């Protein structure tokens, strides 16, 4: 690009095309390689601009143009690297969403399977028959519904425990 810019002199203004290698580096390698190539492209453009005999009415315009070129290349590298990062993140989120949907479909199918089934519960131990083994209700809920169970006390149990006479029971003897 620098050679084409050098041979065509300053009239064509090929400085925008210096962004191509910056864009490629930022897209495929990330922000810092993009910034590095932006700096190199900026210095090459300054070299070519100086040696092609570009004329400015004031030297401050040259420095302004140089600053704008470096700023343009740096912003281009930043935007393209950030765009690539956002695209990669969106792809990862889409993969995570697909995995969650598959898991949801499997869980829904398992619930549908359990929904119409009849479960055998031991009348003494309250364990549920699961194939050839008997497991507790908590284990059954954990295994098939991914539910963790904690224990508490119901209002009915609280009444029986704290006030047995209100529940129609005699008060248990107090140990001495």
pTM above 0.85, yes or no: no
Confidence at 167, pLDDT banded by 50, 70, 90: low
pLDDT tens profile 86-144: 999 999 999 999 999 999 999 888 878 777 777 888 989 989 988 889 999 889 888 88
Question: Maximum CA pair distance of the chain?
Answer: 111
103 in a structural domain: no
- Do 77 and 132 sit in the same domain of this protein? no
HSE-CB at 78 with a 13 A cutoff on CA atoms is 7
Residues 69 and 18 in one domain: yes
131 alpha carbon, distance to own chain's centre: 40
Q: Which domain holds residue 143?
A: 117-152
Q: What is the pLDDT of residues 133-154, one digit of tens each?
A: 999 988 988 888 788 888 888 8
Q: What is the pLDDT of residues 31-63, one digit of tens each?
A: 999 999 999 988 988 888 888 777 788 889 989
Q: What is the pLDDT of residue 32?
A: 94
Q: Please indicate, yes or no, if residue 29 is contained in any of the structural domains.
A: yes
């Amino acid at each position: 690009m620098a050679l084409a810019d050098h041979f065509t002199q300053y009239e064509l203004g090929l400085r925008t095309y210096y962004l191509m290698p910056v864009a490629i580096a930022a897209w495929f390698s990330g922000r810092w390689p993009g910034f590095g190539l932006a700096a190199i492209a900026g210095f090459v453009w300054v070299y070519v601009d100086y040696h092609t005999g570009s004329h400015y009415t004031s030297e401050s315009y040259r420095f302004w143009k140089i600053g704008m070129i470096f700023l343009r290349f740096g912003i281009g590298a930043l935007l393209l690297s950030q765009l690539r990062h956002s695209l990669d993140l969106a792809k990862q989120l889409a993969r995570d969403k697909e995995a969650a949907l598959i898991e949801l479909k499997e869980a829904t199918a398992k619930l549908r399977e359990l929904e119409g089934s009849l479960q055998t519960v031991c009348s003494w131990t309250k364990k549920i028959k699961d194939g050839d083994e008997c497991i507790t209700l908590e284990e059954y809920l954990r295994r098939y519904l991914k539910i963790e169970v904690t224990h508490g006390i119901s209002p009915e149990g609280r009444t029986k425990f704290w006030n047995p006479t209100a529940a129609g029971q005699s008060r248990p003897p107090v140990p001495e």
